[in-house]
Amino acid sequence: MEENLMKRTTWCAGVGMVICSGSVMAEVKLSGFVDMSAESIRFQGKTVQRLQSGNMNTSRLVFSDVEKLGGDLEALFVYEMRFRADTGALTVPPARDSYVALKGDFGRILVGRMRVTSATTYGRIDPSYTATYSVVTNISASYQRWLENNTVKYETPVWNHWQVISSLSLGKEGENL
């Protein structure tokens, strides 16, 4: 009985997706960063040579799309899948930023897993702020979570070069990546 219900639910969901895909044709953009470096480290008479991922930035594939909803209203999504460039392995958790957003005259409202407001600020000062050799990462002010799950963020429109960005995290899962 339960298996039959599962098959019907899956079939209905599939039909619904086909019907919806006829009216909305998303063009998902694929972009990303690959950061891998060769290191030679000498310490106490020993030398280690290795390939290292993430020294200047987080390696990731980025899937995103923006849909015009009419007027200046836009819906968008971003999913950043992290991986280690030296091994190809996915990191745990595999998602960096992963959110949906609505943008219009009012600014932008984002919901999902994303950088907290302080991390957004640090990122404008040092674009490599999550990397091993980042100045911001290596100061004591940065030892907090960069990413939070279950976050709601609001970004005002820019007025005379000023913008207010505020976020509220409903979950405590996160990490410094």
Whether residue 93 is preceded by a cis peptide bond, meaning omega within 30 degrees of 0, is yes
Average pLDDT over residues 39-48: 89
Tens of pLDDT, residue by residue over 119-163, are 666 666 666 666 666 666 656 554 456 778 888 999 999 999 898
* Proportion of the chain above pLDDT 90, given as a percent: 29
Gap between the Cα atoms of 101 and 108, Å rounded: 7
Work out the pLDDT band at 22, boundaries 50, 70, 90. very low
Q: Is the separation of the CB atoms in 88 and 61 below 8 Å? A: no
Mean pLDDT value across the chain: 77
Query: pTM higher than 0.75, yes or no?
Result: no
Gap between the Cα atoms of 21 and 35, Å rounded: 35
Q: Report whether pLDDT(115) > 80.
A: no
Gap between the Cα atoms of 157 and 107, Å rounded: 5
